[in-house]
Amino acid sequence: MRKLIVLCVVCTIFSFQYFFMGTRYSLFILFADDSVPGPAWSIDTQPAPLARTALEIAQESYPEIDIEIYLRKLAEIVKNVTISLRDETEPEQIIKTINLVLFNELQFTYVQTGDLDSLSLNKVLDTKTGNCVGLSILYLCIAEGLHIPMYGVSVPEHIFVRYDDGDFRRNIETGYEGMFTPDSYYINMPGKRISPGSIRNGYYLKNLSRNEVVADIYLNRSIIQKENGNIKASLQDVNRAIEFHSNDAVAFCNRGVLYEKMHDPDRALDDYNKAVALNPDYAPVYYNRGSVYASKEIFDKAIMDYSKAIALYPNSILSYYNRGMVFKMIGRGDLSVGDLTSAISLDPKFAPAYAQRGLVYAESGEPEKALADFNRGLELDPTNTEIYMKRSILYADAQRFDEAIADITAFIQYAKDNAFAYYIRAKAYRGKGDIEKSLEDYNKMIELSPRLAGVYYERGQIKNLLKMPDEALEDFTHSIELFPYNSLAYLHRGNTFQKLGKNEKARKDYEVYLKLNPDASDSEEVKNTIEHLKDNLNH
């Protein structure tokens, strides 16, 4: 089975990545429409549910932290905001005041990282730095302490904060010091568009309930677990995310990725289909689903999905790359070159595209273009050892045997158990005339892959060149045992038998050769040889 080289996109969201067990407090559903703000600016004397929850989640990663200390730190910030607000009641001024306290007076700053420290509330409070998620959690905790009607709001791969008292509504980007952003800003984000149906159905851009915020926590912890190689734990977390928020296309997309990693493409397809149903304008899910179809060799559907991903996100390098690979596999080298060229245009330093385009050029009989692409690919990524193998084949075909041997030897240093690499070098050594080294590589290849009939046939020829006819006979015989329809194996075994004076055996092999290949260009010569052997046997 031919295997497609697939680069798989992982759907992620810039959201909560805390560790959460859910065993030390009870979860409850608080729908945004049901919440009623308390008196403005009064500090709650009870522990803030969101703040405590966020810190308990953080404690799973930082068990040494004292939650009460951090709750007091939050209370101090709430107090500072309360003092600054005085008697202010206008929502716009309230938001402006919180922004000034956080980002100017206390100097909290945004960092564009996805590590746990920049997300966890305790670390955000300690370092006064956080990414958009860490700062959004902080913002929501402050609003909770002040009884201000603010909510988390999710869009594909992102979460932000919204003030919404029923009369006044304002989106707040904590990653940009509280900048106001309209809903339209998020609807047409490149590659992360939200379909009108998804908005009508309340899948995105709505005020999140408490459980839906918790779902984001689980989802992002799942991503961290996946990146650390903890697939089982990651799957458990994303399952809980879907349990709490069953309308998030990104969660299903991420679970599909996990199923792919678990070699369960059917479940992955189910989840990608659900993600498409929830948000049919979300480009990454089409790319991922296309990759599953490609791996299952359902090429027409793979091409359709990659094409949809490109239509939704024309700058998708990987969609062009993988569609180009599929076109190559179905024999459309022209379309493959076009897509790989598009990928290179989007990223001129994308080495894999040069490697694959070079291979298409080589197979299309354009060796100069192929060599230029291989050279560029290695220049960009000297660790891409596959290019050494591809270029060595190109050199060997051009009878540039020394260069072919140098390249394949470099590849073998990284892949010592790759049988095909030794085969390429064996052929190159033979072409150069270094028969003994060729034999060594044939021996190594057979050691690694002992059931390839054609290799025994070729090694038999090498042994004949080295005046080893008995050993050559063994190889030809073994080749025929593995594959009894290779006419050339009979021809060369017959020649070897004849050299050893075993004329009857030679005659029988020549007859099988002609039977398998009656239209051979040397058929008359072989027939004459058979007659000659018969005459010798009769005398």
Give the pLDDT confidence of 481-514 residue by residue, as tens digits: 999 999 999 999 999 999 999 999 999 999 999 9
Q: How many helices (H) and strands (E) does the chain have?
A: 26, 6
Tens digits of per-residue pLDDT, 255-273? 999 999 999 999 999 999 9
List phi, psi (to 5°) of 109: -125, 155
Report the pLDDT averaged over residues 53-79. Answer: 93
Tens digits of per-residue pLDDT, 313-349? 999 999 999 999 999 999 999 999 999 999 999 999 9
Higher pLDDT, 14 or 431: 431
User: At how many degrees (to 10) do helices 67-85 and 91-99 cross?
Assistant: 130
Three-class SS state of 76:
helix
pLDDT of residue 476: 97
Q: 3-state SS of the chain: helix, strand, coil percent to 5?
A: 65, 5, 30
Q: What is the DSSP string of 126-178?
A: HHSEE-HHHHHHHHHHHHHHTT--EEEEEETTEEEEEEE-SS-EEEEEGGGTT
Q: How confident is the model at residue 539 (pLDDT cuts 50, 70, 90)?
A: low
Q: Give the single-character DSSP code of 45.
A: S
Element housing 109 (H / E):
strand 109-110
pLDDT of residue 4: 39
Burial (CB count <10 Å: 0-12, 13-18, 19+), residue 297:
middle
Per-residue tokens: 422: 């030794």
Whether the per-residue pLDDT at 277 is higher than 60: the answer is yes
Q: Give the single-character DSSP code of 120.
A: S
List phi, psi (to 5°) of 367: -65, -35
Tens digits of per-residue pLDDT, 420-479? 999 999 999 999 999 999 999 999 999 999 999 999 999 999 999 999 999 999 999 999
Report the pLDDT averaged over residues 267-291. Answer: 97
CB 397 within 8 A of CB 407: no
Per-residue tokens: 362: 């080589």
Report the pLDDT averaged over residues 75-80. Answer: 96
Q: Which residue has the tokens 């869009």?
A: 155
List phi, psi (to 5°) of 514: -70, -35
Is 468-539 assigned to CATH 1.20.1250.20? no
d(CA 179, CA 95): 10
Is the fold of 32-278 the same as that of 468-539? yes
Q: Give the single-character DSSP code of 179.
A: E
- Domain regions of the chain by residue span: 32-278, 468-539
Higher pLDDT, 83 or 537: 83
- For the domain made up of 32-278, the CATH class stated in words is mainly alpha
pLDDT of residue 48: 57
List phi, psi (to 5°) of 423: -65, -45
Whether the per-residue pLDDT at 43 is higher than 80: the answer is no
Q: Which residue has the tokens 């349990």?
A: 243
Q: What is the chain's mean pLDDT, rounded?
A: 89
